[in-house]
Structure 1
């Protein structure tokens, strides 16, 4: 069962619902999103009494949910959610571009990439300070030094930071510097890490695991929501198939399917899906047309010397093409883009 609290519900209203649920022998999980608070209840729901709950102060809706993921399911919340990252919305109506270097290498490289990202229309800066790599001999990230570089670049450019965290012990440190925490594909089912980010107040970008079903992806989001954080954005980044021409296979159908099953925003990562620079913009166009709420793109000022994933990073000559695709197709799909970007790309 899911209990949706009204926007004006105060803490005592929420506490009263939790107390009633626990008195009936049920477990209650309080999750706070950008616009509302949701309480997930599991146990003997007949004993709890849905009608009694509906009459309590501050309760807006009581819904039975049959999906295994209760809090992130669209069954109880048909209106899609908006997640705000330091004032930048991700969700229906708008289109959000997140861009920047896959890995933070130096202050100069990160600042240069951030400025390129802004010219592409990005309103959030991606950058990896911690890098979970397949080989232990490749660049693993700068750690806190990378987080400090990102914070300095944010101060210079005004772009809020999205950065990956790979260890539960680093969550508080990353949350101190970053505006949004990313869970990468390799950690989608690292449940200890999911619980740790669920206990923060930072929005979470949850990438789909390379071998994960959509249900497993949504259940991973449920782990985060159950710990109190409903500010979750799903990211489709390609799955592992028999095809070797591309790094992964972009499951474009995941966008409308996830939107049908969940109220959470869904974005696409065409950079990691393809692993090829020449495919990033075509896949970005496909993602926008499929209804994605945003994109996350790798950009590097000199990909030939990148310490991580240079083959998929966009360069100077690709930026305008990406920006135009976002501006043109997002409008066709009825999405708003930042006014400054729209004005810059509108022919005189």
Structure 2
């Protein structure tokens, strides 16, 4: 249920509605992103729905009361009709400009990450990606440099000005990573790690939430709901390929997810064609398709020497390939009234 207050509703009228929501055993959640106050009512309503609608209509300052059928109330268009624009340390995600996040899968050394940061910035990237903590299928694979990797990312940001996106894997690492990261990434393996979602929801730092390999779009939105319901409304969704019977690529890019999410939620949506395809030869085509379909940005893996990368070399673009792709992405963006 959402309660839409009148534009001229006084603060004490808004407070009276919030107090009543608490009194009847539910939780009010205020949407600060629109001119008029919209209060989401969180909690089990069930058979009380009709009575509660009528009850809150009687409060001074209330314009209307709507029932929301979706389980993702705070992420829904009904609750927040306008597109959300997330400010990631000065980079706006969800606006007219489609953002490009680029960099290596893993931070391997200070020289490597600073060099690639300068290269992707020169070609037009707006944020730097790089993993300091790496979830790997094999326990024997490179797991990342940990806090040392975070320090290297911070150094690259200091020298280039690019905000950094890096992954958090565990609740015990959230506070540490929040000290360094501009955007905290929740990877596909942790999309339904609800303790982790709640923890990043308590931190006032943008979160990039990747879709799970076997998860539906509805599941992704429910995971976003966990984060938002804890108070952090700065959530960026990310399609990165799902598991199907097809094995020609690493995963199957669900390009349908972009227009569906644009209809269902106000949250910005990005696409990671590197992980979706697993092969640098397909990355450019899928990246262009994402921008054409309405994505608010793409994440691209770029490495100086993919053959010797410590992780995900086969899906990484070389800097010169990234530069060429950026020119193509700009032309696609212009065709759909966006910029890069």
TM over 0.5: yes
Q: Are 1:32 and 1:231, in contact at CA under 8 Å, matched by a contact in 2?
A: no
- For 2:127 and 2:226, the matched residues in 1 are separated by 25
Work out the CA distance in 2 between the residues paired with 1:148 and 1:268.
Answer: 27
Q: How many residue pairs were aligned? A: 334
Q: Work out whether residues 21 and 28 of structure 2, in 8 Å CA contact, stay in contact via their aligned partners in 1.
A: yes
1:111-190 mapped onto 2 (5 Å cutoff): 111-190=114-193
How far residue 80 of structure 1 moved from its aligned partner, in angstroms, is 1.4
For residues 253 and 149 of structure 1, the distance between their equivalents in structure 2, rounded to whole angstroms, comes to: 37
SS state of the match for residue 301, structure 1?
Answer: coil
CA RMSD, 1 decimal:
2.5
* 1:25, distance to aligned residue in structure 2 (A): 2.4
Does the residue aligned with 1:297 lie in a helix, a strand or coil? strand
Q: Does 1:84 align with 2:90?
A: no
Q: Which residue of 1 aligns with 2:24?
A: 24
In structure 2, C-alpha distance between the alignment counterparts of 1:34 and 1:171, rounded to whole Å: 30
- Tell me by how many angstroms 1:10 deviates: 10
Cα deviation per residue 1:311-341 (whole Å; 9 max; x = unaligned)?
A: 111102202221112211111111133xxxx
Secondary structure of residue in 2 paired with 1:28: strand
Q: Report the counterpart of residue 310 of structure 2 in structure 1.
A: 307
2:300 to 293, 297, 300: 297
Structure 1: distance between partners of 2:6 and 2:129: 34
Equivalent in the alignment of 1:340: none
Structure 1 residues 129 and 13, CA, compared in 2 at 3 Å: closer, same or farther? Answer: farther
Compared with structure 1, are the counterparts of its residues 116 and 176 closer, same or farther at alpha carbon in structure 2 (3 Å cutoff)? same
Distance 1:36 1:162 in 2: 33
Q: What's the counterpart of residue 230 of structure 1?
A: 233
Residues 55 and 7 of structure 1: CA distance in aligned 2, closer, same or farther (over 3 Å): closer
Unaligned stretches of 5+ in structure 2? none
Runs (5+) with no aligned partner, structure 1: 338-348
- Shift, 1:173, TM fit: 0.8
SS of the residue aligned with 1:97?
Answer: strand
Cα shift at 1:54: 6.6
Post-superposition Cα deviations, 1:170-196, rounded to whole Å, max 9, x if no partner, equal 111111111111000000000000000
Equivalent in the alignment of 1:260: 263
Partner Cα separation in structure 2 for residue 202 and residue 238 of structure 1 = 25
Q: Distance in 2 between matches of 1:130 and 1:40?
A: 36
SS in 2 for 1:246: coil
| Structure-2-length-normalised TM-score | 0.91
Deviation at 1:142, TM superposition (A): 1.0
